Structure 1
Amino acid sequence: MRDVRRANRASLLTDLFHGGRQSRQELGDTTALSQASVSNLIGEMIEEGLVEEAGLVGSDGGRPRALLRVAPGYGYVAGADVGESRVTVELYDLAMSRLGFAQFPLESGSGAGAGADPESAAEKLLEGLDAVVAEAGIEKSEVLGFGVGVAGVVDQSGEAPVVHSQTTGWDGVPLGRMLRDGTDVPIFVENGAKAVGQAEMWFGAGRGARHAVIVMVGTGVGAAVVVDGRSYRGAHSNAGEWGHTTLVYDGDVCRCGAKGCLEAYIGSGKVIARLAEVTGQEPDPKLLNRVLAAQGELDEGVAEVIRQTVGYLGAGIAGLVNLFSPERIVLGGPAGLPLGERFLSDIRDAAARNALRHPYSRTRIDLCQLGPDAVAMGAATLPIARLLADGGLPVTAGAAPMSRAAHRRSLSRGRP
């Protein structure tokens, strides 16, 4: 009975979160629950402070109906983006209004090609969590979870997430345990592209699609594959490493050590190096954005670099079309979004030339709507997904509802 109750609460809570304000009658229609069940469960969640009334709507000849929503202030969620040179931490309420922001530079690890030092990253993540909580003026016990987006594969099979990233030198980094040792806030760790993919599916360009691929192009290149509304992780959480599929046999060397990876041709570091070579400028991280923002026609050498990059990107997208036949492909990331904003028609043309005609004709290629740096926001959706899946109940909850404060404290002590 507890499992049934949890599932019914999850259905109602998920429908309210994604569908916006609704009456009890509308919730009964959309969830197929009886009006009695809806009334009882909504009553519990109102008592807990998880759901609240938010206005009235008229009815045919009867009394106005109360509209309901997930209470924005019931709890708060934090999200972080661990980049190669900086950590960004953000805090949101349950209406996804940003209440806090912090950013810190990161120390590099030892060895050639090493990314951020894991110990430094964990320290700055915890420092950032403290900073955004203080900025928002809330208690840390009110934070329902801390989601962290990272590069590479995140192994979720053990007690705490472990990160494997050849490109940044993170080989079996127990980031989940490192963070849990420093805070009581529940920790969620996920690949950054997958975190952004979830946010775009919930709030952005993927909304309404059941089969989609959200691709992120920056220094690294990754994808979030959504199949029938669910994120596809693969047998060992490796799915989505699109940047390390081979585009050119025995081609350019990639950061991962292999040759010919897609990332070696469209990753922003590689593109910037080519632009620096043809322009004689320093390989500044902002060089690509400056080139794309320039008015007028591009210089011949610059135009050729961009033409090749767009062609490689389109060919890579064509591979996703042929493999997954999605309804929608969403292009984003610090390099992908500005490329798409200026050259989306060329990217579509390149994809059409390299994809099978029938699946391509049923696929739409759009741009991300949440901006080029949405990893922290995407990571903040990870604890919300757990909240919705559990129907707002802590993992050890019994049948009786609790007070709002006690319920939130109990929920925040749960572990994914």
Structure 2
Amino acid sequence: MEAKRATVRDIRRRNRAVLLSSIYFDGPLSQQELVRGTGLSGGTVSNLVGEMSEEGLIEEAGSADSDGGRPRTLLRVRPTYGYLVGVDVGETRVQVELFDLAMGPLAKADFPLDPQDRRGREPGTIARHILAGLDQVIEAAGVSRRSLFGVGIGVPGVVEQGREAVVHAQTLGWTAVPLEAMLRDGVDATIHIDNGAKTLGRAELWFGADRSVRHAVVALVGSGVGAAVMTNGVSYRGASSSAGEWGHTTLVYGGRACRCGARGCLEAYVGAEGVLDRWRQAGRGPGAPGADEESEIAALLAAADTSEVAARVLQETAGYLGAGIANLINLFNPERIVLGGWAGLALGGRLLPEIRAAAAAHALHHPYAQTTIDLCRLGPDAVSVGAATLPVASLLERGGTRPAPRVTP
């Protein structure tokens, strides 16, 4: 008898998840459209809509004319039903952003990091930035901590998912860092941690690129380089979640030293740190005192209009990046390559035609012809948006039920 009741609960939760996902991604929708789109019966849709309306999870969003009948009421997820936090732990800053349930941005806190200061990127320092940013955005938006559905965090490196997430970020000097445990006492909501490129991939397919795209690779180029290989909306993770370390594939055998300890990695040529180092070695000279990587990349782009050295470095970068993208095309045969990350957007905004040409020259002709190469539509803050999709995905899977309150041992 108990097993039967559990099965009924499971079916009800699954039906709620299907209905809520449809409203979330495709709404506002009428009940008639939900019946057609989900395959659920009219009675099931009516019952669940009534249930979720009473909970305040969904709300009316106007009406639409129907063929000869009364206007159809449209439904949407209520944005203020709860709130989400997305955290981008990058190599130049920690960014904490608060969103409503419709992913409307409400408040943001930034903590710049000095790439040359390894102590400033120690796990304890990063954890303090995250907790301070969480306090700042909650206070700025005037929302209750109890209204948070979860905190999503995108980090560089490999995230080992177990009872609590553990981070291996070789370029930061992190080995088996128990980041979730370090944050647990300061965060009342559920914590979700994943690789930043993977969170970017989900955000781009959810809110940027056409969701009808089944096979895509989302490339993240910042100080470091990574990628999310997306198939049917799901990121390929590999045996231990390390799939997608595109930046540490070998581009030049025995080439430039990479921060990971190997030589010739793609990151050493197209990551912001590698690009700027190549510019200095080509004769540009040291950067301005105190200049960060973002301002230095902007200076390189500006200098290319008058400096042959800067122009040559950018052309080489376009070639390296195009060759790296060609490897993705040959390996994964995606429908779309999306270039994102703050450095990827800065470089791609000027060099996208050259990057495409280099990819065409190095990729197999047939898979290249099936691929489009575009810039990320969500802008440089896409990792924090992607991180916030981690608690959203959990909420949708639960059919909109709130997570159980955390019990402190």
* Higher mean C-alpha displacement, 231-240 vs 296-305: 296-305
How many angstroms does 1:293 deviate by?
4.1
Structure 1 counterpart SS, 2:250: coil
Q: Which amino acid aligns with 1:317?
A: I
Q: Which amino acid aligns with 1:63?
A: R
Determine the C-alpha separation between the residues in 1 that align with 2:107 and 2:263. Answer: 41
The structure richer in helix per residue is 2
Pairs aligned (count):
396
Q: Does the C-alpha gap of structure 1 residues 115 and 255 become closer, same or farther in structure 2, counting only changes over 3 Å?
A: farther
Determine the C-alpha separation between the residues in 1 that align with 2:277 and 2:57. Answer: 51
Residue in structure 1 matching 2:382, options 368, 374, 383: 374
Q: Which amino acid aligns with 1:280?
A: G
Residue in structure 2 matching 1:12, options 5, 8, 19: 19
Q: Which amino acid aligns with 1:95?
A: A
Determine the C-alpha separation between the residues in 2 that align with 1:413 and 1:27. Answer: 34
Residue in structure 2 matching 1:215, options 216, 219, 225: 219
Counterpart position of 1:71: 78
Asked if 1 retains the 8 angstrom alpha-carbon contact of 2:88 and 2:153, the reply is yes
Determine the C-alpha separation between the residues in 1 that align with 2:103 and 2:233. Answer: 21
Q: Which amino acid aligns with 1:326?
A: P
Counterpart position of 1:175: 179
Counterpart position of 2:36: 29
Counterpart position of 2:129: 124
Q: Which amino acid aligns with 1:337?
A: L
Counterpart position of 1:358: 366
Counterpart position of 1:49: 56
Residue in structure 2 matching 1:145, options 143, 150, 156: 150
Q: Does 1:290 align with 2:295?
A: no
Counterpart position of 2:88: 81
Determine the C-alpha separation between the residues in 1 that align with 2:287 and 2:345. Answer: 23
How many angstroms does 1:86 deviate by?
2.8
Q: Which amino acid aligns with 1:131?
A: Q
Asked if 2 retains the 8 angstrom alpha-carbon contact of 1:216 and 1:332, the reply is yes
Q: Does 1:247 align with 2:254?
A: no
Q: Which amino acid aligns with 2:41?
A: S
Structure 2 counterpart SS, 1:73: helix
- Superposition pairs of residues 145-294 of structure 1, within 5 angstroms: 145-156=150-161, 158-205=162-209, 207-277=211-281, 278-282=283-287, 284=291, 285=293, 286-293=295-302
Counterpart position of 1:333: 341
Counterpart position of 1:314: 322
Counterpart position of 1:405: none
Asked if 2 retains the 8 angstrom alpha-carbon contact of 1:198 and 1:378, the reply is yes
Q: Which runs of 5+ in 2 are unaligned?
A: 1-7
Q: Which runs of 5+ in 1 are unaligned?
A: 394-407
Determine the C-alpha separation between the residues in 1 that align with 2:91 and 2:269. Answer: 19
How many angstroms does 1:87 deviate by?
1.6
How many angstroms does 1:20 deviate by?
2.1
How many angstroms does 1:303 deviate by?
1.6
How many angstroms does 1:412 deviate by?
5.8
Counterpart position of 1:324: 332
Asked if 1 retains the 8 angstrom alpha-carbon contact of 2:79 and 2:100, the reply is yes
Structure 2 counterpart SS, 1:22: coil
How many angstroms does 1:66 deviate by?
0.6
How many angstroms does 1:195 deviate by?
1.0
TM-score by length of 1: 0.91
TM-score by length of 2: 0.93
Identity, % of aligned pairs?
Answer: 58
Q: Which amino acid aligns with 1:214?
A: V
Determine the C-alpha separation between the residues in 2 that align with 1:109 and 1:334. Answer: 19
Structure 1 counterpart SS, 2:309: helix
Determine the C-alpha separation between the residues in 2 that align with 1:361 and 1:8. Answer: 40
Determine the C-alpha separation between the residues in 2 that align with 1:411 and 1:63. Answer: 41
* Higher mean C-alpha displacement, 4-13 vs 83-92: 83-92
How many angstroms does 1:24 deviate by?
0.5
Determine the C-alpha separation between the residues in 2 that align with 1:253 and 1:261. Answer: 8
Higher RCO structure, 1 or 2 (CA under 8 Å, sep 6+): 1
Counterpart position of 2:3: none
Determine the C-alpha separation between the residues in 2 that align with 1:65 and 1:187. Answer: 39
